[in-house]
Amino acid sequence: MSSHTQNEKLVEAIRNKAIDEKISCAAVFQITGELGVEPIEAGRTLDLMDISIIKCQLGLFGFTPEKKVVKPAPSVSDVMKNEIESRLSDGRLPCFAAWEIAAKLKVGKMDVAGACETLGIKIKPCQLGAF
């Protein structure tokens, strides 16, 4: 499939899922999975379409009214801390690494984000290029 055709399919899929120029992170990842598109390409397409990403699956942005819904974890297990610290890049945890840790430890993505909040570790960069 040519990238032009793929891009048209991506634009169409985004238009079908977006509401009021907004689309959830989960919906974007559903689209990327269905179309076999890299998340960053979807993010660039969203920028070009002037569509905002809402409801970050790590709870970091896109919620109303408080924007960010992730809360610091009451405690962080040594296993979680070691997983996070072993995946740091420039002192930050990449979003894709947070997702991989959640899958490996069989916990929610927001659990990993909450552990990062407690540990004072920023999650960056976003797979979609939002942050």
- CA atoms within 13 A of residue 77's CA, in its CB half-sphere: 8
Cis-peptide, bond into residue 72, ω within 30° of zero:
no
Q: What is the pTM of this model?
A: 0.91
Q: Cα dist. 68→15, 55, 113 in Å?
A: 25, 9, 11
Consecutive 10-residue averages of pLDDT for the chain (131 residues): 72 97 98 97 96 97 93 98 98 98 98 98 97 90
